[in-house]
């Protein structure tokens, strides 16, 4: 066939096949194809090297449905530091290693508490990054991944509570070994994500979980790590023994640096600031060493974190590599969420918090700067009617009082059929007010309706509604000891992540 076709090819075709422009075109096509194949191949290989082997979690899928609406198109990232002395399969880490290198107690201590929770807001356009450390002892209503309540606990216990429940349930079903551990941890992650989302009123897009061993391994890659202390410290619990001033730490010392709380003026809050300082130092160091811009070095770091860091399954290594430089050069402002005081609950020292205030602070920091008229409720006129679909007597009146307190005009209150979700519906001209109220209540986006009179907003409270500063579902436990409410700046001023900040 081919020979016959060759024989019957017209002379003009043969001439055309050898024409200089055809040869040039063919050479061009070959060059472009080769460049494309090579470029795509190298990119594919590099990407697979980075991404393959990472421990991924689908925990975000469980809580995404009930996530509060996005305030902008930035990425909210939750860093979870787990106080576990176990490996990914639930096996105890070698005792000697835990005692000598981690300077931590037995595997029973720490359990699955999330001792570090840092919520970061990374704008898409390279703008300022806001980060909030959530004090681990904040006493809040903790949730399971499906949104069901666990009760009031320290926020760090949400993970452990869900882990234990799931672990016991699966163990009874005969599940064992790594599968039992991974499913139980997944329940813990879901609970932490659901609790933090409900507490802060903002959705979480990605998360990263690191345990003590993971922290140690990362620090080992990055050591020596430069830190700065305002005062000399010596603490036998964490093993911290450092002079004042700028100094370089190895991995073991770095772990002691971020874990120390005894002997510090503000205890746990100073420990939180140590963690912020550590992140600031490390990102500064990574930038100076050129790691962010060097995919090979980034790959080296990924190889280490693959062992004991868990990332959400939608985490995109390339996107993170692009966003990571935003975390350097003073571009991050670290805050610590405020507490209202201290108290004893269930025999434990806890931080008291004002849930509405926390939501308001986080949402203000994470939302794009509003126009002056939209920011002030008094300038957004609307009459608010509140319907009680929660079933708790007085909830509608209390919320109406709250809303009039911030400048809205009081309408009526009434009962409504019981419902799960709080909704906000508005009439003509009340859209901006409805948006403000929805944001305040962390309810889904408001909808307009011709059934609502012009200038009115109708709020129908559901089971998910919580009265400001309290859980109306459960009576507040009587404090056996409490300190007076503290000032707003009890958690200290914001720390700008620039170089090596000096901390207590």
> Which residues of this protein are in contact with other proteins, per CB under 8 A?
2, 26, 29-30, 32-34, 36-37, 39-41, 43-44, 47-48, 124, 316, 318-319, 322-323
Smallest separation, CB 4 to other proteins (Å): 13
End-to-end CA distance of the chain: 86
Contact 77, 207 (CB under 8 A): yes
Peptide bond into 224 cis (omega under 30): yes
| Beta strands 495-497; 502-503: pairing state | unpaired
Residue of 490, 437, 432 whose CA lies nearest to 201 = 437
Smallest separation, CB 149 to other proteins (Å): 35
Of 49 and 364, CB closest to other proteins? 49
Smallest separation, CB 210 to other proteins (Å): 24
Of 218 and 317, CB closest to other proteins? 317
Smallest separation, CB 46 to other proteins (Å): 8
φ, ψ dihedrals at 98, nearest 5°: -60, -45
Of 3 and 265, CB closest to other proteins? 3
- Calculate the CA dihedral of residues 346, 350, 351, 357 and round it to 10 degrees: -30
Of 314 and 473, CB closest to other proteins? 314
What per-residue string of b and e applies to 1-20 under the rule 16 or more CB within 10 Å gives b? Answer: eeeeeeeeeeeeeeeeeeee
Smallest separation, CB 126 to other proteins (Å): 10
Tokens of 368: 């794009």
Strand partners, 341: 352
Smallest separation, CB 35 to other proteins (Å): 9
Smallest separation, CB 465 to other proteins (Å): 35
Contact 80, 186 (CB under 8 A): no
Of 27 and 375, CB closest to other proteins? 27
Of 33 and 397, CB closest to other proteins? 33
Of 40 and 375, CB closest to other proteins? 40
φ, ψ dihedrals at 208, nearest 5°: -135, 135
Nearest-angstrom CA–CA distance, 132 and 65: 23
Query: Would you call 380 exposed, middle or buried from its count of C-beta atoms within 10 A (0-12, 13-18, 19+)?
Result: buried
Of 6 and 172, CB closest to other proteins? 6
Smallest separation, CB 5 to other proteins (Å): 9
């Amino acid at each position: 066939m081919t020979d016959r076709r060759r024989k019957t090819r017209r002379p003009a075709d043969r001439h055309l096949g050898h024409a200089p422009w055809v040869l040039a075109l063919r050479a061009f096509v070959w060059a472009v194809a080769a460049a494309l194949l090579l470029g795509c191949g190298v990119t594919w290989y590099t990407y697979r090297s980075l991404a393959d082997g990472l421990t991924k979690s689908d925990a975000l899928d469980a809580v995404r449905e009930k996530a509060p609406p996005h305030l902008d198109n930035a990425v909210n990232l939750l860093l979870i530091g787990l106080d576990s002395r176990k490996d990914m399969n639930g096996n105890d880490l070698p005792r000697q290693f835990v005692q000598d290198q981690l300077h931590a107690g037995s595997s029973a201590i720490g359990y699955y508490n999330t001792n570090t929770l840092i919520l970061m807001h990374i704008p898409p356009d390279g703008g300022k990054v806001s980060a909030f450390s959530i004090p681990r002892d904040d006493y809040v209503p903790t949730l399971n991944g499906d949104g069901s309540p666990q009760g009031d606990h320290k926020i760090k216990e949400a993970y452990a509570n869900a882990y234990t429940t799931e672990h016991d349930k699966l163990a009874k079903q005969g599940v064992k070994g790594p599968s039992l551990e991974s499913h139980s941890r997944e329940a813990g992650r879901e609970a932490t994500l659901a609790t933090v989302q409900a507490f802060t009123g903002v959705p979480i897009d990605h998360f990263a979980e690191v345990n003590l061993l993971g922290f140690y391994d990362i620090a080992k890659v990055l050591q020596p790590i430069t830190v700065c202390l305002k005062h000399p410290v010596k603490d036998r619990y964490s093993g911290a023994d450092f002079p004042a001033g700028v100094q370089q730490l190895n991995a073991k010392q770095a772990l002691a640096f971020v874990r120390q709380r005894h002997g510090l003026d503000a205890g746990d809050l100073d420990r939180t600031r140590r963690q912020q300082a550590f992140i600031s130092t490390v990102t500064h160091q990574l930038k100076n060493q050129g790691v962010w811009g060097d995919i090979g070095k980034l790959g080296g770091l990924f190889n280490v974190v693959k062992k004991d860091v868990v990332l959400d399954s939608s985490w995109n290594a390339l996107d993170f590599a692009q966003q990571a430089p935003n975390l350097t050069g003073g571009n991050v402002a670290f805050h610590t969420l405020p507490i209202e005081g201290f108290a004893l609950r269930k025999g434990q020292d806890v931080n008291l918090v004002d849930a509405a205030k926390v939501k308001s602070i986080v949402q203000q920091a994470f939302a794009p700067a509003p126009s002056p008229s939209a920011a002030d409720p008094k300038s957004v006129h609307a009459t608010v009617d509140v319907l009680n679909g929660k079933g708790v007597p007085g909830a509608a009146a209390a919320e109406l009082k709250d809303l009039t307190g911030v400048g809205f005009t009081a309408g009526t209150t009434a009962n409504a059929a019981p419902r799960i979700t709080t909704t906000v519906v508005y009439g003509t001209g009340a859209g901006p007010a409805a948006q403000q109220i929805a944001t305040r209540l962390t309810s889904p986006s408001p909808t307009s309706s011709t059934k609502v009179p012009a200038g009115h907003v109708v709020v129908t409270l559901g089971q998910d509604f919580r009265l400001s500063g309290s859980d109306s579902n459960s009576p507040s436990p009587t404090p056996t000891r409490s300190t007076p409410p503290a000032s707003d700046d009890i958690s200290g001023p914001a720390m700008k992540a620039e170089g090596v900040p000096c901390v207590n």
